[in-house]
Copies of this chain bind each other. A is one copy, B any other.
Amino acid sequence: MNYQSTLIASLYEIGVIQFGEFTLKSGKTSSIYINLRKIISYPTLLISVANIMMQKMEGYQFDIVCGVPYTALPIATCMSIDYKIPMIMRRKEKKDYGTKQLIEGVFNNGQSCLVVEDVVTSGMSIMETTADLEQAGIVVTDVIALIDREQGGKENLEKKYRFHAILTLSTILHTLLHSPLLSQHEKEKIDQTLNLMKP
């Protein structure tokens, strides 16, 4: 088993990947739901994920990391403390009290930043984050996601940034399709989804 298969099995086993009927943020329904938040309850897996993502970035230079709110924040925190790279955070809304700042943390104009996301769909949440970072004078060079749902995010992001993903939805589905962990019913859901994903 390669590291991707091991990672997919771990994510499936803790219930990050679920089969059923789900309403997505976009209003669309999906028979597969990826809820990466559960990973916060599995510190060892969280550390693995952060390590895998940092290893993927070997050879690339960046001064700071920034997680996209909210699920990627624990992942970015873990990357930051394990590799001693300063982190910044983007607030979703400006505070109206205290020191008013949209980007929290310490940074200098022109510093390069790695943006960290858990699951990329269209790339919209990432774009909201990078827009704020850029307005603050930060240079976003790379975006890394744990999972690319292959719904246009990669294409959108690559217009402006280098985009890296550890897993794609089709890799996950193909791997699970051959896994002894899944029921026949779940495998049918996967087949269904893979058919819908065909161009």
Do A40 and B84 form a contact, CB below 8 Å, given A23-B97, A98-B33?
no
Instruction: Of the listed stretches A103-111, A125-133, A153-161, name the one at the interface; the rest are far from the partner chain.
Output: A103-111
Using Cβ atoms and an 8 Å threshold, which residues of chain B touch A64?
Answer: 41
Contact A86 B37, beta carbon cutoff 8 Å? no
In the complex, what residue of chain B is closest to A79 when comparing beta carbons?
B43
Shortest CB-to-CB span from A137 to chain B, Å, is 15
Using Cβ atoms and an 8 Å threshold, which residues of chain B touch A52?
Answer: none
Do A88 and B25 form a contact, CB below 8 Å, given A33-B98, A78-B77?
no
Contact B44 A88, beta carbon cutoff 8 Å? no
Q: Which A residues fall within an 8 A CB radius of B?
A: 14-15, 18, 22-25, 27, 33, 35, 37-38, 40-44, 46-47, 64, 70, 73-74, 77-78, 80-81, 83-89, 91, 97-99, 104-107
Contact A98 B24, beta carbon cutoff 8 Å? yes
Selected from B18, B42, B87, B97, the residue in CB contact (under 8 A) with A74 is B87
Contact B84 A44, beta carbon cutoff 8 Å? yes
Using Cβ atoms and an 8 Å threshold, which residues of chain B touch A40?
Answer: 77, 80, 86-89, 104-105
Do A22 and B77 form a contact, CB below 8 Å, given A86-B42, A104-B37?
no
Using Cβ atoms and an 8 Å threshold, which residues of chain B touch A104?
Answer: 37-38, 40
Q: List 26 A-B contacts (CB under 8 A).
A: A14-B106, A15-B106, A22-B99, A24-B98, A33-B98, A33-B99, A35-B99, A38-B104, A38-B105, A38-B106, A40-B77, A40-B80, A40-B88, A40-B104, A41-B86, A41-B87, A41-B88, A41-B106, A41-B107, A42-B86, A43-B81, A44-B84, A70-B89, A74-B87, A77-B77, A77-B78
